[in-house]
Every structure is written in C-alpha cells, then in structure tokens.
Amino acid sequence: MTAPASGRPVRLINYIAYGSNDVLGAGSMAVISGWVLIFYTQFCGLSAGQAALIFAVARILDAIASPLIGYVSDHFGDTALGRRFGRRRFFIIAAIPLLPSFALMWLPGQTFPYYLATYVFFELVYASVIIPYETLAAEMSSDYKTKAKFAGARILFGQSAAILAGFLPLWLINALGRDSADTFFWMGCIFAALFMATAGFLYAFSWERERKVSAVPTSGGGAGSAFKALYRNLFSTMRIRAFRLHLGMYLGGYISQDIFNAAFTFFVIFALAGSTAVASGLLGTMYIVQFVAVILAINLALRASPAFAYRLAAMAFGAGVVVLLALWFGGLTATSPWIWAAIGLAGLGRGALNYIPWATYNYMADVDEIVTGQRREGSFAGVMTFIRKATQAAAVAGVGLMMEAGGFISGAPVQSGAAVNTIALILGIGTIAVLAAGILVSLRFRLDPATHKVLMDEIERLRAADPTPPAPEHRAIVEDLSGWRYDQLWGRNPVAGTAR
C-alpha cells in the first residue's frame, strides 16, 4: 500500500482498476492496427485507398474532438455534474453505454459509408474515455514510484488485451471456419463487453485530487471560451521541453509498432507463405513475450534511466525485424523455427517500448506545473490521444496506400512479386527508420527518479514563495526539463498566459 502526497492510500485494487481500463486503450488499438486493414480489404471488399480515407476522415474530426475533450475535462469541475461525478470520471461513466459501438465496426457485408460512420463514432467514444483516463494516475498520486506502478499496471493489462487480440481470431477461425468474416464481428462483441466492464471498474475504484488554487488565474466560460482557448492550449503544451522529447520517444516506439502491425499479417501470408490463423498465433505469442517484457521494463525504468531502457528496447525490436527480413530473403517460410527468434526479440523490445513512454508521461504535468503554476493533465492527455490516434491512422493508411501503389490487389489469394517486395520493405525500412528516430531523441531526455525528485522539491519551494535561491544543480535540472530559465518559471512566461 502506498500513501501518495494527497494522503489517500493507493491500494492493490486501485492499481488493478486503473490498469484494467487499458483493455480499451491498448486492446482496441491492437485489434485495429493488427486486423482492420485485413478486414476491410480481404472481407469487406474495400480497397486500400478507401480504408485510408476512413482513417483520414476520422483524424480530421479527432483534430477538434480530442484536444477539446482534454480542455473541457480540465474545467469540468466547475459544473454541477463535475462536482457530483468528478471532472474526469464523469466522462468515463457517461461513455459506458456507447462502448458497444466497437462491435458495430466489425459487422460484415456493409457499405463504405457504414464502415466510415462506425469507425468515426467509436473513435470519438474512445477519446471521451481515454483522455480523462490518462489524467487519473496524476490525479491519484504525485509520487514518482506510485505513478510508475500505475503505468505498469496499465501496460500489463494492455498487453493482456493485446494477447487476446492476437489469439482470439485464431480461436474464432477454428470455431467458425477459415473464411468466415463473422470471426471479426464476434471478436468485436467480446472486446466491447470487456470495455464496458473495465470502465465501470475504473470508475468505482478511482478518485481525483483535491483541486488547489492555481498560481496563475484561469478563465471560465462555456463552449465558446473552450474553443477559443483550445488550440492556444494545445500548442502551449509543446513549449515544455520534456514533453516535446517525450513525444519524440513515444512516437518512435509506437509508430514503429503501428507500421509493423499493419504490415505483419500481410508479410506472414504473402511473403512467408503463412495464413491468417498462423499470423494470429504469431501475434498472440509476440504479445505474451511483450507482457513479460513489461514486467522487466518496470523494474529497469525504476532503477535506471527510462531513456536508457528505451534504447535497449528499440534495439531488441529492430533486431527482431531484421531476423524476419532475413527469413524472407533466405526463402524460408512461416514454419521455420527461426521465426520464433524474431517473435521473441520483437516482443521483448515492443513490451518495453509500450511501457516506458507511458511511465514518463505521468510526470509531464509536473514539469508543466513548474512552468505555468497550473495542473493541466487533461490538456496533455488530449494532445497525447490526438497524436496517438493521428499517427496510428497515418501509419495504417500509409501502409495501405503504399501496398496499393506497389501492386497489391484486395482479396487476391496470391500477390505479385512487386507487391510482396513492397510489403517487406514497409515492414523493414519503415519500422527500423522510425525506431532510429526515437533512439536519437532519447539521447536528450533526462527525466528519471532523481531529477523528478528535484523537480517536485522546487515546485514546493515556489508554491511556498521561498525566497532562498535554488541550488545551482537544481536550477540546471529544472531548466533542462522545462526548457525555460528559472526566473521565468511559476507563471512568469508566455506559456502560463496561453494555458488560461
């Protein structure tokens, strides 16, 4: 049991409840990134270009909805509903009846407008839950280790959901038949039921911190003022140096996985002479390895630099991709025992890459607080959710468009040599190039347990208006994390104005 700064103890059931909701966060993303392109092109008759258009339309709407939800949740505590249900938690309980919309995405035999509408609707429901959810670790505790444990619980549940996303199609294929599109509909139903259950569990065993008076006054107002401040608020988060570096690492780890996931099933089927069932089994096994890797990464990130752990993980994932390409180049198939070495290496790297960015994310509002004197967890969550969904959609759509340009034919049991080469190049070069970019960013990221403690000590000094000058090493650490001179902190900068 951990007692956070708020004095309310964080018990095991709180960690479990918080973590369980990533069945929605990571589970739905694993299903979508791994299977939606296959479902649209091989079972629904859509072209890769039509699938890309669905993702593009959804992202345009996300550009408005996700930051708006984050901004509104930051200010929702001033409303009657916010005071009754919580400024974050209200959105979670309100979305529960809408979560079955995930199953409707996977109903076979429908038209392009149907798949567009159902995909967009679920994405908006998803944002209304995940953005407030991503603030709750910081709401429930300000302690570094407690937040790291929240992140660990979240990723462990997310990896469990990803395992289910990998194996479930295989089990349903065995039950319903190899060519049944109903496989994906029943998978959607099962996940929708899990989403509803975990959202209710989270609401029952979470809380929000007592709101303190901000160092810089904030403006109220309704929807009009929310829209007016929306993108000022969005871009102001990018003026926090640690958050910019965090985003670079986050995108390096997650976009590389999006590209890999979108291309992997096609690679197994058409380059390694496998099947959908074989690809499902390989994905499920990889997610099991990822689960183990998360446990290892939790311990490593708590004892060492998260940036160092990130680099180790990225290199392991990249090595797994190289082994997969070597199998294809050597003329081997998915039955080769070497494929398990590739799956093992990739899984070890991916598991850690999933955990580390979310562990460091929980401290971004602390860095922002020393700059602005405010708590803006919702704004950062809105930016994170928008960027995550936008980049995932861009990765999946990009894979589809490049495959189509390379000669891929939707629904065809055999693809041309040019199409197979394109799939292999996407899987290899696309994944490794993005990983390399993330590694380069990690070399400049210096938030760890020691620097976070200095940060929190300095926040308390500034809150108490302590006139004593900071120690030189403390000043250097805070300036490196924030990207601002010490005399500009605590609201004495343009960021505090745009955050109002």
Q: What is the DSSP string of 47-71?
A: -HHHHHHHHHHHHHHHHHHHHHHHH
Dihedrals phi, psi of 240, to nearest 5 degrees: -95, 115
Q: 497: which residues sit within 8 A by CB, 6+ positions away? A: 216
CA gap 372, 382 in Å, rounded: 18
Dihedrals phi, psi of 2, to nearest 5 degrees: -115, 135
CA 85 to the chain's CA centroid: 26
Residue 314 tokens read as 């990225």
Question: b or e along 44-80 (b: 16 or more beta carbons within 10 Å of the residue's beta carbon)?
Answer: bebbbebbbbbbebbbeebeebbbbbbbbbbbbeeee
For residues 73 and 155, is the Cβ–Cβ distance under 8 A?
no
Dihedrals phi, psi of 82, to nearest 5 degrees: -65, -40
pLDDT of 225 reads 55
Q: 316 by DSSP, 3-state: which?
A: helix
Residue 146 tokens read as 């407690």
Residue 470 has what DSSP assignment? Answer: P
Sequential DSSP letters for 192-240: HHHHHHHHHHHHHT---PPPPPPSS-----SHHHHHHHHHHHHHHHTTS
Residue 458 has, within 13 A of its CA and on its CB side, a CA count of 30
Please, is 2 exposed, middle or buried when counting C-beta atoms within 10 Å of its C-beta (0-12, 13-18, 19+)?
middle
For residues 365 and 380, is the Cβ–Cβ distance under 8 A?
yes
Q: 132: which residues sit within 8 A by CB, 6+ positions away? A: 69, 73, 88, 89, 90, 91, 92, 378, 381
Dihedrals phi, psi of 10, to nearest 5 degrees: -95, 115
Q: 10 by DSSP, 3-state: which?
A: strand
For residues 298 and 148, is the Cβ–Cβ distance under 8 A?
yes
Sequential DSSP letters for 88-142: THHHHHHHGGGTTHHHHTT-SS--HHHHHHHHHHHHHHHHHHHHHHTTHHHHH--
Please, is 478 exposed, middle or buried when counting C-beta atoms within 10 Å of its C-beta (0-12, 13-18, 19+)?
buried
Predicted TM-score (pTM) of this structure: 0.77
CA gap 280, 178 in Å, rounded: 12
pLDDT per residue of the chain (500 residues) written in tens, 0 to 9: 554 445 589 999 999 999 999 999 888 988 888 888 888 988 898 988 888 889 878 877 876 787 778 778 877 877 888 888 888 899 999 999 999 999 999 999 899 999 999 999 999 999 899 989 988 988 888 888 898 889 889 989 988 998 998 888 878 878 877 667 788 899 999 999 999 999 999 999 999 877 654 444 444 444 455 555 556 666 789 999 999 999 999 999 999 999 998 899 999 999 999 998 899 899 999 999 999 998 888 877 767 789 999 999 999 999 999 999 999 999 999 999 999 999 999 999 999 998 898 888 889 999 999 999 988 887 787 778 778 777 877 888 889 889 989 999 988 889 999 999 999 999 999 999 999 999 999 999 999 989 999 999 999 999 999 999 999 999 999 999 999 999 999 999 988 766 65
Tens of pLDDT, residue by residue over 95-132, are 999 999 999 999 998 999 999 999 999 999 998 999 89
Tens of pLDDT, residue by residue over 459-493, are 999 999 999 999 999 999 999 999 999 999 999 99
Residue 143 tokens read as 């302690």
Residue 187 has what DSSP assignment? Answer: H
For residues 96 and 200, is the Cβ–Cβ distance under 8 A?
yes
Residue 469 has what DSSP assignment? Answer: P
Q: Tokens 């894979």 — which residue?
A: 399
CA gap 149, 151 in Å, rounded: 5
pLDDT of 214 reads 46
Q: Tokens 């290892």 — which residue?
A: 296
The one-letter code for the residue type at 181 is A
Strand partners, 10: 2
